Amino acid sequence: MRVHSTEKIEKLKALRRQGYSINELVAMLAIPKTTIWHHIQRIELSPECRARIKSNQGGSRKLKEARMKKADVRAESLLAGKHRDSAIAVAMLYWGEGHKKRCDFINTDGTMIRTYLWIMRNVFEIPDSGLVPTIRIFSGMDKEECLSYWARVTGFPKNKFRIRLNDGMTRGRSEHGMCRIVVKRGGDILKLIIALRERFVQTILIR
């Protein structure tokens, strides 16, 4: 089944020929990097376009460094303030259970999910509109029971959840499946969590 229209793929190729980088194309067209690479890998670029991409990569590095610096400053403030314990808790939780490249936390433990969400909402001040809950259930599980459980745990209405089915798998030790919380456009939040972790670990190591 075709996921992206022919028109969209042709637009992707045209933009690449104009010298847009893969990261720029991801942001503009909402197409995964692997898909973009599949369609552009044989496109020959002019020297001017290659220079543009190289120049933008340098700018991207500077922007990333600036954002990491901003995250580190905020991390220092949190660790010195009233939310220190919560900041340390989320850094440790995420270190063990979070996605490394996007702000995406998943677990089967309702208390852990509830704790993570409380910090997202009350410490990082992320509105519910900026959070996407997904539950993953397995064959043999009661979909409505699992949905009701995670709705109680998270405080989200049932109609906000995305539901994924791992058909053919057993429930194992997970009674209600797994819940994933994704922060929309969560790059800066992920950087903050990383900065919190690094600062806290350093305070342990230098003692």
Q: Tell me, yes or no, whether 89 and 181 share the same domain.
A: yes
Looking at the fold, whether 192 and 98 belong to one and the same domain comes out as yes
Q: Do both 166 and 192 map to the same domain? A: yes
What is the number of structural domains in the chain?
A: 2
- Residues 19, 88, single domain; the answer is no
* Whole-prediction pTM: 0.69
In a domain, 76, yes or no: no
Rounded to 10°, the helix 22-29/33-40 angle is 120
Mapped onto helix, strand or coil, the DSSP state of residue 9 is helix
Same domain, 43 and 115: no
Half-sphere exposure of residue 29, counting CA atoms within 13 Å on the CB side?
Answer: 25
Please say whether the beta carbons of 127 and 157 come within 8 A: no
Q: Are strands 162-166 and 178-183 parallel, antiparallel or unpaired?
A: unpaired
Instruction: Kindly list the distances between the CA atom of residue 48 and the CA atoms of 9, 15, 19, 42, 56, in Å, as whole numbers in the listed order.
Output: 23, 14, 8, 17, 12
Q: What is the pLDDT of residue 1?
A: 45
**Is residue 73 in some structural domain?**
no
What residue numbers bound the domain in which 110 lies?
A: 83-205
Has residue 1 been placed in a domain?
no
Q: What is the pLDDT along the chain (207 residues), one digit of tens a residue?
A: 456 788 889 998 998 888 888 888 887 888 888 888 889 888 888 888 887 777 666 556 676 778 888 999 999 999 999 999 999 999 999 999 999 888 999 999 999 999 999 999 999 999 999 999 999 998 888 999 999 999 999 999 999 999 988 765 555 567 899 999 999 989 999 999 999 999 988 877 655
Judgement on whether residues 199 and 112 belong to the same structural domain of the protein: yes
φ/ψ of 172, rounded to 5, equals 60, -135
Give pLDDT tens digits for 19-57. 888 888 887 888 888 888 889 888 888 888 887 777 666
Distance CA(17)–CA(48), nearest Å, equals 10
19 found inside a domain: yes
Burial 44-80 (b: 16+ CB within 10 A, else e): eeeeebeebbeebeeeeeeeeeeebeebbebbeebbe
State the pLDDT at residue 180: 96
